[in-house]
Structure 1
Amino acid sequence: MYDVETRKRALALVQQGRSVNSVSKQTGISRWAIRNWQTRLEPVARTADCTRCAPEPRAPADTAAYTYLLGLYLGDGCVSPLRKGLFFLRIACADAWPGLIDACAGAMRAVHPRNSVCRVQRQGYVMVTGYSKHWPCLFPQHGPGKKHERPIVLVTWQREIVATHPWELVRGLVHSDGCRITNWTTKIVAGARKRYEYPRYFFTNRSDDIRKMYTDTLDRLGVAWRQTNAWNISVARRDSVALMDAHVGPKY
Structure 2
Amino acid sequence: MRQGIPNRVVAEQLGIPRGTISWWRCEDRKARGEVYRQPTDCPVCTDRELDQTAYSYLLGLYLGDGHIVSKHKQRHLSIFCNAAQTGLVAAAEDAMRRVMSTPSIGRHRKTGCIEVKSYTGHWTCVFPQHGPGRKHERRIVLEPWQQAVVDARPWEFVRGLIHSDGCRITNWTARVVAGERKRYEYPRYFFTNKSDDIRALYTGTLDRLGVEWTACARDGDPFNISVARRASVALMDLHVGPKH
**TM-score, normalised relative to structure 1:** 0.79
* SS across alignment from 1:132: coil
2:128 corresponding residue in structure 1: 140
How many Å apart are 1:211 and its aligned residue?
0.1
CA RMSD of aligned residues (A): 2.1
Are 1:162 and 2:147 an aligned pair?
A: no
How many Å apart are 1:98 and its aligned residue?
1.0
Aligned-partner Cα distance in 2 for 1:45–1:68? 29
How many Å apart are 1:190 and its aligned residue?
1.8
Are 1:151 and 2:143 an aligned pair?
A: no
Aligned-partner Cα distance in 2 for 1:149–1:167? 26
2:185 corresponding residue in structure 1: 197
Match of 1:78 among 35, 58, 67: 67
Percent sequence identity over aligned pairs: 58
Partners of 1:46 and 1:114 within 8 A in 2: no
2:240 corresponding residue in structure 1: 248
Which amino acid in structure 2 is aligned with residue 128 of structure 1? V
1:210 corresponding residue in structure 2: 198
Aligned-partner Cα distance in 2 for 1:98–1:46? 32
Match of 1:66 among 42, 55, 76: 55
Partners of 1:47 and 1:132 within 8 A in 2: no
Aligned-partner Cα distance in 1 for 2:223–2:178? 39
Which amino acid in structure 1 is aligned with residue 55 of structure 2? Y
How many Å apart are 1:46 and its aligned residue?
6.0
For structure 1, list consecutive stretches of 5 or more residues without a partner in the other structure.
9-39
How many Å apart are 1:171 and its aligned residue?
0.2
Match of 1:131 among 119, 126, 130: 119
Which amino acid in structure 1 is aligned with residue 133 of structure 2? G
Aligned-partner Cα distance in 1 for 2:193–2:37? 34
Aligned-partner Cα distance in 2 for 1:67–1:130? 17
Deviations 1:155-185 (CA, angstroms, capped at 9, x unpaired):
0110111010000000000000000000001
Name the CA shift for 1:45/1:191 in 2 (closer, same or farther; >3 Å): farther
Partners of 1:166 and 1:217 within 8 A in 2: yes
Name the CA shift for 1:189/1:69 in 2 (closer, same or farther; >3 Å): same
How many Å apart are 1:193 and its aligned residue?
1.1
Deviations 1:71-91 (CA, angstroms, capped at 9, x unpaired):
00000001112434x620001
Are 1:177 and 2:152 an aligned pair?
A: no
**TM-score, normalised relative to structure 2:** 0.81
1:33 corresponding residue in structure 2: none
Which amino acid in structure 2 is aligned with residue 208 of structure 1? D
Partners of 2:174 and 2:183 within 8 A in 1: yes
How many Å apart are 1:128 and its aligned residue?
0.3
Higher mean displacement: 112-121 or 69-78: 112-121
Aligned-partner Cα distance in 2 for 1:59–1:80? 25
Aligned-partner Cα distance in 1 for 2:136–2:192? 12
1:17 corresponding residue in structure 2: none
Aligned-partner Cα distance in 2 for 1:59–1:71? 20
Larger radius of gyration: 2
Moved over 6 A (4+): none
2:43 corresponding residue in structure 1: 51
Deviations 1:12-54 (CA, angstroms, capped at 9, x unpaired):
xxxxxxxxxxxxxxxxxxxxxxxxxxxx9xxx99631322123
* SS across alignment from 1:171: helix
Matched residue count? 209
Name the CA shift for 1:176/1:46 in 2 (closer, same or farther; >3 Å): farther
